[in-house]
Amino acid sequence: MTNITTQYNEAKAQYATLGIDTDEVLRKIAQVKISMHCWQGDDVRGFLNPDGELTGGIAVSGNYLGAAHTPDQLRADLEQAYALIPGKHKLNLHAMYADTTEQVDLNTLEPRHFSKWVDWAKAQGIGLDFNPTFFSHANSADGFTLASPDDSIRQFWIEHGKASRKIANYFGEELGQVCVNNFWVPDGYKDTPIDRLSPRQRLMESLDEIFETSYDTAHTLDAVESKVFGLGAEAYTVGSHEFYMGYGLTRDKLICMDAGHFHPTEVISDKLSALSLYSSGILLHVSRPVRWDSDHVVVMDDELQAIGRELVRNDLLQKTYIGLDFFDATINRVAAWVIGTRNAIKAVLKAMLEPTDYLKTIEREGNYTERLALVEELKDFPFGSVWNYYCQEQGVPVGLDWLTAVKAYEKNVLAKR
């Protein structure tokens, strides 16, 4: 028996004393899919206008070697990352990552411009999610898209929104698993507006127009993502949390909760249980804000673990789609994906290794002493041995061994770009 297996068996016995069946937990975690975002691979540039400026109030810092410049490079990088992550997952594409030689704009995109992505996803056995791209375009230069006071601008973006839904539906049909299509728009004002209502009214009406057509929910689900502020939209964001809570709940859309889109002391982990009582589904953008919506690589911090626990304790995994949203160009981009995605999986796995029913029972009985004692002792349980065994069983590197593969890839592939 390998060392990893021996350690796992010891851990298994220890968790069994709390009534936790680690074999069962490993079967469950293998079902949890993480939607890895394509945009970490090329600093949110895309392929439609890669030399254009990144706008929309988001920013990537860093100039690490080896960013992907072509769809083939991006796919190669993604394959390298997936090879180091246990389980079968999804890829989250943005509209601007169309893979085509045709001259096409955001409002004229068609499913065929993504057929190469679909072929690749089929070959890899992964699912696809989607996002219309409402930024980095001449028609968003004034900071407004679907809420623009200019009707022709608004119309362009409505057409884009409709096009994106057709593409998402095509992904779902082709791949036999639902494609979540997430709507985020950057619209907002740098300085305090007089009229906070009209832009929101226009956004509501634009979205209603985009969502007129219904698609089979087995193929695609729409999600809407709010935000508190963006760079250049510090004073007012049209698509605020209240806006999309209202919109999503009245139109039966998934509500996307991005961990970086709230006030700095607010956490999304505490919002999930409340939201779950009313919404048919939740999309997560697991991210890491550092002082602002900085989109740092997801690390194993308190909030990530709290998100994992909320999903498990409240039995929300069925109605929650877990996506990632970060972009760091100061480190190896493949490593960024691997670290962030492995951490997201680990957080859910760790939450599954808890005697939740028992903890709920003693809490109901008012036994807060044991609740605190047990939760604290659990922190010293050999979670790492379970994780390592999971990686071994899934045929991916254990521990830091994945970094060796990334370093070799950097030397042999990335450094030569």
Active site residues: 184, 225, 227, 258, 261, 285, 293, 295, 325
User: Least distance from C-beta 57 to ligand RNT, angstroms?
Assistant: 7
Question: Distances from the Cα of 175 to the Cαs of 170, 220, 296, 358, 395, in angstroms?
Answer: 8, 11, 31, 40, 24
State which of positions 287-346 bind Zn ion (CB under 5 A): 325
Q: Tell me whether residue 109 or residue 224 sits nearer to Zn ion (CB atom).
A: 224
| Contact flag: residue 285 with Zn ion (CB under 5 A) | yes
- Of 136, 153, 235, which Cα lies nearest the Cα of 189? 235
* Position closest to ligand RNT via CB: 184
Q: Is 182 helix (H, G, I), strand (E, B) or coil?
A: strand
174 binding partner (options ligand RNT, Zn ion, none; Cβ < 5 to 8 Å by kind): none
Among 42, 187, 258, 410, binds ligand RNT (CB under 6 A): 258
What does the alpha-carbon distance between residue 41 and residue 294 come to, in Å, rounded to a whole number?
Answer: 17
What does the alpha-carbon distance between residue 355 and residue 312 come to, in Å, rounded to a whole number?
Answer: 11
Judge contact between 11 and 22, C-beta under 8 A. yes
What does the alpha-carbon distance between residue 286 and residue 264 come to, in Å, rounded to a whole number?
Answer: 15
Q: Tell me whether residue 39 or residue 387 sits nearer to ligand RNT (CB atom).
A: 39
State which of positions 149-178 bind ligand RNT (CB under 6 A): none
Interacting stretch for Zn ion, rule CB under 5 A, among 96-104, 159-167, 281-289, 405-413?
281-289
State which of positions 96-155 bind ligand RNT (CB under 6 A): 131
Q: Which long-range contacts (CB under 8 A, 24 or more apart) does 354-363 make?
A: 354/20, 354/309, 354/312, 354/313, 354/378, 355/18, 355/19, 355/20, 356/312, 356/313, 358/18, 358/19, 360/313
Residue window 14-43: x/- pattern of binding to ligand RNT, with contact defined by CB under 6 A: -------------------------x----
What DSSP line would sit under 96-127, residue for residue?
A: GG---SS---GGG--GGGGHHHHHHHHHHT-E
- Of 353, 264, 379, which Cα lies nearest the Cα of 24? 353
44 binding partner (options ligand RNT, Zn ion, none; Cβ < 5 to 8 Å by kind): ligand RNT
User: Least distance from C-beta 199 to ligand RNT, angstroms?
Assistant: 17
Residue window 346-385: x/- pattern of binding to Zn ion, with contact defined by CB under 5 A: ----------------------------------------
Q: Tell me whether residue 182 or residue 385 sits nearer to ligand RNT (CB atom).
A: 182
What does the alpha-carbon distance between residue 179 and residue 114 come to, in Å, rounded to a whole number?
Answer: 14
Reported in sequence order, the residue ranges of 165-300 that DSSP labels E, i.e. its strands, are: 179-183, 188-189, 220-225, 236-237, 254-258, 282-286, 288-290, 292-296
Instruction: Count interface residues toward ligand RNT (CB under 6 A).
Output: 11
In this structure, what DSSP letter does residue 95 have?
Answer: G
Interacting stretch for Zn ion, rule CB under 5 A, among 285-293, 327-335, 355-363, 395-403?
285-293
Among 11, 34, 58, 386, binds ligand RNT (CB under 6 A): 58
Contacts of 43 (CB under 8 A, 6+ apart): 54, 60, 62, 67, 327, 329
227 binding partner (options Zn ion, ligand RNT, none; Cβ < 5 to 8 Å by kind): ligand RNT
Among 25, 26, 29, 44, binds ligand RNT (CB under 6 A): 44
| Contact flag: residue 237 with ligand RNT (CB under 6 A) | no
Q: Tell me whether residue 106 or residue 396 sits nearer to ligand RNT (CB atom).
A: 106
Q: Tell me whether residue 130 or residue 409 sits nearer to ligand RNT (CB atom).
A: 130
What does the alpha-carbon distance between residue 210 and residue 41 come to, in Å, rounded to a whole number?
Answer: 29
Q: Tell me whether residue 38 or residue 272 sits nearer to ligand RNT (CB atom).
A: 38
| Contact flag: residue 94 with Zn ion (CB under 5 A) | no
User: Least distance from C-beta 92 to ligand RNT, angstroms?
Assistant: 9
Contacts of 187 (CB under 8 A, 6+ apart): 134, 143, 144, 145, 146, 147, 148, 199, 203, 233, 237, 238, 239
| Contact residues for ligand RNT, defined by CB under 6 A | 39, 44, 58, 131, 184, 225, 227, 258, 285, 293, 325
| Contact residues for Zn ion, defined by CB under 5 A | 258, 285, 325
